[in-house]
A and B are shown apart, each in its own frame.
Chain A
Amino acid sequence: MKPIIQLDITALTFPDEPEPALKNIKLNINEGEFIAITGGAASGKSLLLHAITSAAPKFYPCELDGTVTVANQDVSKIPLCQMTDYLGYMMQEPQNQMVNRRVGDELAFGVANLNLSQDEIEYRVNAVMDFLGIRAFSDRTTDALSGGQAQKVVLGSILAMKTPILLLDQPTAELDPKTSSELYRHLGQLNREKKVTTLVVMDKCGAVLKDAHRVLVMEAGTVKDFLPVGEYQKKYGCWKTNRRAKPIQVDERFDVIKLSGASHTYKGGIIGCQPLNFSLKKGDFTAVIGQNGSGKSTMLKLIEGLVKPTSGSVELFGTLVTKKNVGELRRRIGFLFQNPDDQIFCSSVRDEISYVLKNKNLSAQQIEEKIQETLALIGLKGLDEIHPQRLSRGQRQLLALGSVVINDPELIIADEPTSGLNSAQSQVVMEKLAHLSSQGVTILLVTHDLTEARDFANRIVVMHNHQLAMEFKAEKIDNYLNELARLELIEGGDF
């Protein structure tokens, strides 16, 4: 097989950074190969793709010492907009990559830029819609698509350009397991049938390895290993999370959260969730799982007091939630959101983490002690004065956790806190939550990741079709695999 991508990078260095972000990389990728790329936080996985596309240094200014060739062409000599002859590139958040209002226009965007005839544009768009099974929503607006649908549209727009190489950076990071495996099935099919060379930065171990030929392991900006999948699995195994070390002490006498037949219907009659009967005991660590659109977010909004129950009632700490007392009740709760950027706004880590202490009657010394204690807990000590936007996504999520923990919450509600993070980053966030749980903090975790739910929670609650479908002890999960497969939360009885 002849190589289609050749990298010989001595160093790739960003301005004002003392160390190169990529160094000593020499590797060939053959035509028709399917490569999975993995590695820890800031190991250079995404940057490697940027170097191949030539976005680094053309889009992200930096200094590149070395050469990158694609199809025997030196990419430094090809303008970024002409890279369409060689490769297509897809990122993590599909909503950021779509620039047209109508799905049909988005699918045609790339080919229309190539100045092809109207007939050819039509033909290619139709072929892509059939291949991905998205014809049904070709006239829909792009902002109305679910995460999975949007990711397919972005992929479709790239496929319509018929590039011989596909580069994908954590394409399933925000998708549920069913949608993820559907996307990987399409990628595998393209690789087998059309011989499209595919490089995927994988978020969490699993689905992608079924189709991959080799795995590239990155560490500290360089290639640590480049192995066939079999050897990789022997050497590294699949990523194993460390289970929580300490048992969870649940006080069965006291309900921290109690939903009694609480439901919510949005404007226009759209059902958020059907009447729910749910309680969370003091000290418990419960995981709520379910597909996108199963009603998990609405359930959280009901608990957070962001939407009113259409029927039934919501109690927090034994008190009925009303418009008057919701602010006071929220002060006892810490909320950790899927996207830390929705809450971070201060211009230093210190200011961000201590923001909630502003209205508390604490002395300067007490505040300082709390800041240092929290920074140590989340592993960001020494980064006090750094601007939060300079931190990695994983570090920003930890910062968000820190700004929650510093307020000593009795209950933490975490809405997919590891979405968009890789395995190592997810592990750090989950361990911090487990640590808090061991100190008696009650935790409600919403997640797509069954491994996380099994390894860290005490109880698992499943939502399906806007209602609670089942609940069981996390350690008994093996007894429920068939049922979970039926609800399409796992594939083939494993996860």
Chain B
Amino acid sequence: MQNEQAIGKKSIFKTDTKSLIGAVVMGIVFVIACQITGQIDNMLPWGKMGMLLINGTVWAFFTGILTLLYRQPGGLIAAEVEALISIMYTPLWPTFIFANGIASIWVSFVAVKCDMTKWSHHILAQGGVCVLGNAIVGVGLVFILGLPVGVAAVSSLITIGVTWPLATLAEKKVYDALLKSGMVK
């Protein structure tokens, strides 16, 4: 119970039971959201070519917002829940373990330095998430799926270009809405 209260306003860590279980349940919401958007992407021409742009946006948004809500280790737990459950629908899951983890840690560092009230804070947080995450997934495209390096690089760059602004927009809007709802203190 020494961990009951959140440790300081600017701390990376929050280890109370509410945050841990919240991260688990939200991690499952993360999985469901990725599933839905993956299906939507597959109906679109770029999805049929293997580029999951809406799914990528939702992935980046959830990685960011859950880390902001639950800090660490909650952010990592939620991110890894998504990575591990993705075993059920993608062979790229080993890269997700690293991509999700590193992206979540990046958001924590940004949240420590910034108070997340400005657009620039969210742009910075999502920039790291999208670049780091997609770079790692790009490595997976080459080593797991055996795609040519050029194809993997172009796919990752396009995904970063599209998901960065969209995920930033979503993260800022939803973070503000959650603060307004009073469900997040």
Q: What residues make up the interface of A, taking CB atoms closer than 8 Å to B?
A: 15, 58-59, 61, 79-82, 99, 347, 387-390
Contact B182 A387 (CB under 8 A): yes
Contact partner of A80 among B4, B177, B185, CB < 8 A? B4
B10 within 8 A of A: no
- In the A-B complex, the 10 residue pairs with the smallest Cβ-Cβ separation, listed nearest first, are A79-B1, A389-B181, A347-B177, A387-B181, A387-B180, A390-B182, A389-B183, A58-B4, A81-B1, A347-B180
The CA of A99 and the CA of B5, in the complex, are separated in Å by 22
Task: Give, as a whole number of angstroms, the nearest-CB distance from A18 to chain B.
Answer: 15
Contact B181 A347 (CB under 8 A): yes
The CA of A388 and the CA of B21, in the complex, are separated in Å by 24
Q: Mark B151-185, 1 if CB is under 8 A from A, else 0.
A: 00000000000000000000000000100111101
The CA of A337 and the CA of B45, in the complex, are separated in Å by 37
Contact partner of B182 among A59, A61, A80, A389, CB < 8 A? A389
Chain A residue contacts of B180, Cβ below 8 A? 347, 387
Contact B1 A80 (CB under 8 A): yes
Q: Find the A residue at minimum CB distance from B25.
A: A96
Q: Find the A residue at minimum CB distance from B1.
A: A79
Q: Find the A residue at minimum CB distance from B6.
A: A61
Residues of B1-20 whose CB lies within 8 A of A: 1, 4-5, 18
Chain A residue contacts of B182, Cβ below 8 A? 387, 389-390
Cβ contacts A to B, 26 pairs, < 8 Å: A15-B185, A58-B1, A58-B4, A59-B4, A59-B18, A61-B185, A79-B1, A79-B4, A80-B1, A80-B4, A81-B1, A82-B1, A99-B21, A347-B177, A347-B180, A347-B181, A387-B177, A387-B180, A387-B181, A387-B182, A388-B181, A389-B181, A389-B182, A389-B183, A390-B181, A390-B182
Chain B residue contacts of A390, Cβ below 8 A? 181-182
Chain A residue contacts of B18, Cβ below 8 A? 59
Task: Give, as a whole number of angstroms, the nearest-CB distance from A81 to chain B.
Answer: 6
Chain B residue contacts of A99, Cβ below 8 A? 21
The CA of A388 and the CA of B177, in the complex, are separated in Å by 11
The CA of A59 and the CA of B3, in the complex, are separated in Å by 11
- Supply 13 further A-B pairs (C-beta < 8 A) apart from A347-B177, A347-B181: A58-B1, A59-B4, A59-B18, A61-B5, A61-B185, A81-B1, A82-B1, A387-B180, A387-B182, A389-B181, A389-B183, A390-B181, A390-B182
The CA of A347 and the CA of B178, in the complex, are separated in Å by 8
Chain B residue contacts of A82, Cβ below 8 A? 1
Task: Give, as a whole number of angstroms, the nearest-CB distance from A479 to chain B.
Answer: 49
The CA of A32 and the CA of B182, in the complex, are separated in Å by 38
Chain B residue contacts of A59, Cβ below 8 A? 4, 18
Q: Find the B residue at minimum CB distance from A99.
A: B21
Task: Give, as a whole number of angstroms, the nearest-CB distance from B85 to chain A.
Answer: 15
The CA of A15 and the CA of B185, in the complex, are separated in Å by 10
Task: Give, as a whole number of angstroms, the nearest-CB distance from B145 to chain A.
Answer: 33
The CA of A347 and the CA of B179, in the complex, are separated in Å by 10
Q: Find the A residue at minimum CB distance from B4.
A: A58
Chain A residue contacts of B183, Cβ below 8 A? 389
Chain A residue contacts of B177, Cβ below 8 A? 347, 387
Chain A residue contacts of B5, Cβ below 8 A? 61
